[in-house]
Chain A
Amino acid sequence: MSARYFGAAVPRLEDPRLLAGQGRYVDDISLPGMLNAAFMRAQVAHGRIRGIDARQARNMPGVAAIYTMADFAAIAQGPMPPMAPHPLLKTPITYHPLAVDEVCHVGEAIAIVLADTCQQAEDAANAIDLDVEDLPSIADPLAALADDAPKVHSGRNSNLIGALRGGFGNVEAVFAKADHVLAETFSIHRGGCHSMECRGVIAAPDTLSDGLTIYTSSQSPYMVRRHLAQYLKRDESTLRVIAPDVGGGFGPKANVYPEEFAVALAAFTIERPVKWIEDRSEHFVATTQQRDQVWNVEVAFTGEGRMQAVRGRCIHDNGAYAPYGLILPATALASFPGPYALEALDVSIDVVLTNLVPTSPVRGAARPCTAFVLERLADRIARHLDLPREEVRRRSLVATEQMPYTTGMKARDGSPISYDSGDYIKALDLALKKIDAAGFAARKTEAAARGTLLGLGMASCVEDTGLAPFEGATVRVTPAGKVTIATGAASQGQGHRTVLAQIAADALGVDIADISVEAADTGKFPLGISTIASRIAVTAGSSVELAAQKVRNKALKAASFMLEAAEADLEIDNGIVRVVGVPSMQVSLGDIARALSGSAGLLLPGHIEPDLAATAYFESNALTFAYGANACEVEIDPATGDARVTRYVVVHDCGRLINPLVVDGQIRGGVVHGIGNALYERMVYDEAGQPLSTNYGEYLLPLATEMPDIEIHHIETPSPRNPIGVKGAGEGGTIPATACVISAIEDALGTGAPFIAEHPVSPDRITQWLDAMTSADDLKGRGQ
């Protein structure tokens, strides 16, 4: 079998339709008799609902119904099931589909309005008379820990919902004997989702059964089915959930949302299809974000700059509910010790409720936060010891001779985490070589001549990918000789269809143009988990490989019978099975499929089980670790504080590349997300929890004019942990990028620069630092 497609930059099968404006996103779907929904949402961060008067709103033009949670009592009641239960969360902290008596953040949905048009629905939602008693609110996670702080939920006596702790080794002993110890505080902010398509959902009652079909812009259609079925006490088979084309996900669309439940409940109640399309202002207040972590850490290191141990505590802003359990803070914890070979670690994370929209993973989850802490510490150590930053890293990174390297941490299933393969130091050295670190001093001098400040940044990362347990696939050859792949793996732009087709095309010896992929439709494939944690290439990719190999073997067995030739003498080329060296003896895969489809009264060839198809669930039972090193240059205009990333180099190892075009696209987009976190994206609230950045004039995203070209170099160390040797690539761009840019900014500011322990960093902040540095110089000058 030749690898004709695997590894090639095959243009995406998804593209032609999307380029021609023929994509089919949720809002492009219109069903007969469909009503449009709008939500009436909380305007206060914390309040008790005293009354809702919708009489006037109900009589407005086009309005079909207005429902609150009480109207659904006959179908369902109570809070939604938790998506990821955690033993620390004794009682789940989940939303009701519509708030019942208390609202805990601005934007929480209270009532759903159904009308002929979405404009009419919005008008009526604005006309509902809501009587809310203001309750004290808290927006700052640090202040929320005080004994006398307002409680985010009036029924809870503490805002602390969990204290996670992880580590290994004898931290006390390492710190006691260390040559040096430094302490720092980091303030990390990661903004929101901002997929260009907002969320959206359509629920359509089935007229022939009592079922419901749901179209949702989701990373987790199977989780929507599972949790909604559980909530409605229905069999899953009565719910069909489809994620059609989805316009970006980036993590927050992995949640199961109250709006999905409310739209389903409304459709069941009114017995008509109901559509809700989130608008951007709702996205700012009702789609999960990531926001803040504050870390107080100490690092112990040797006189040579080898990082030995880290200890510390993080305050994690959870927001008002924990629909996704403690996944986000748990990921922060599990991301230690990053790519560094620490002797000991002791970190804890206090997960704190605030009266803000909940937090959940955004691209990279909390791995970029952990990377920021570790990479900034590496730079801090270098400054303290007056060593090159890369030297501290070389002395501290896990060495390739140590692979597989058991870190001391535990995975979600309790198993020890071990990095499988790779050469972290080589990646760093290559990144520095490619950015021409040796020539940096000369470029800095040139920049100074132009009146700008040039800085060089660097950061390394490791990423756990291929999260258990599985995404399965069925590969089937049809009598027309076409191949279909069905999988539960949902896509939000990653090009899964193309890469899965590449794998199957090679395994089956067929033209990729003959392959189609059906994904993310619970009616087409029985099981699925979720497109999260850079897991689809490993899980679904491996399942497609295993299923396609089974189909291949089955085809060869049938052909052997049909051609009366030994299996060992057969080859498959371009959809034809033939006897090697005897071109006249051949049968097409389509003909084999037809024979295995059965004909009345005829025996199947070779008594082989019908259907030229196979299903596989590759069990991804050990994480596989992608890694990389980044280097960048940032140029600062000291007059305005404007910081531009002018060059960016990525060295990345995600094992074997299925499609370099797609992998590079994932990395570039990921890096730019990280640059946004470093320089632009800040979700701002006032002290009472009122959001202050609710449009794209106030919340800045990276634009074409500010982004550099990103140069990518791959190291391909095949993963030993799956049959196709791949590692995930979805988030490796984002994880080190913020730390890399901040490293460059600090370097650009030069001697006397403050240690930068926060992001995003605005031009304002940079001019503050420059002004402070100038005054310090002046003082020094006067003192001399």
Chain B
Amino acid sequence: MTTDTVTAKDFATDQDVRWCPGCGDYSILKQVQSIMPELGLPKEDIAFISGIGCSSRFPYYMDTYGMHSIHGRATAIASGLKAARPELSVWIITGDGDGLSIGGNHLIHLLRRNVDVNILLFNNEIYGLTKGQYSPTSELGKFTKSSPLGVIDQPFNPLSLAMGADASFIARAIDRDPILLRDVLRAGNLHKGSSFIEIYQNCNVFNDGAFDPYSDKKRKAEETLILQEGKPLVFGLDNAMGIQLDGLTPRMVSLATCSADDLWIHDSKDHTKAWLLTRFFDDPKVAGHFPRPFGVFYQQERPTYEKAMQEQVKQAVEKFGEGDLDVLLAGRNNWEI
């Protein structure tokens, strides 16, 4: 299939994009469209399935096959689609409410099955479409319309949750870093299996600035830890800081006192280390907190659900032959009158 004539623009539809001006969703849409030609697939072999929420409008803006389904169920619907049509490239667009609250069950089951889809979870830590209630990722104490005295629910750590569900690919990106976002999307697409990508997305109407520490020019260097395969974990201005592993205990060290060779080297195949990285989840307001990692945390090759299903169909055909309806209808015991 030649795709050299397809460009990002070819993936736009004639529909007006209706997110609030300034919403982080715009950047995500743009980055997704821009990597689409790299899939090497014709547009008709790609499907975007979403649930309900601001982010779930996404399929309307992609000139592929698409479904804007019901709240929380995109994961279930996409599982059926991919299982039926393994050759398609299937993308799930969901949010913190859609994917982690009402659709939490389907999400963890999709991850454990390892259906080969890409899940883009737009995390804005708020319910936007319903106008500002706290979500399962809103921080403790947050004041929202439905929590005037502050949130008392412990928030989810989405990447730890995904690891707990045995996701085979786990990554984090942010709307305001398009290069990183594109890299993560590409890696997720190349991964054979469920790719769980959490994207920090600014809702400038109901939760503006929630991720400022990780995008603000002045704070970004101190607050973010960009994961690069085979490279030491460094962060801070001029990468002056690093992470060292003392047994299983991570420690922040200054490179002035420690050699880069002694730092934790990122290995996305290492389950234990990936787990530790997902636990870098401190409140940036707390003194001595760890920087928040971005990039690919973990990837593991294991059989995909739809391949296994396809294999069973193939084996059944090899063993019993192509189904013969007359044999099926006649059953094992029959008689003539």
Chains A and B are bound partners: no
Residues of chain B having any CB pair with chain A under 8 Å:
none
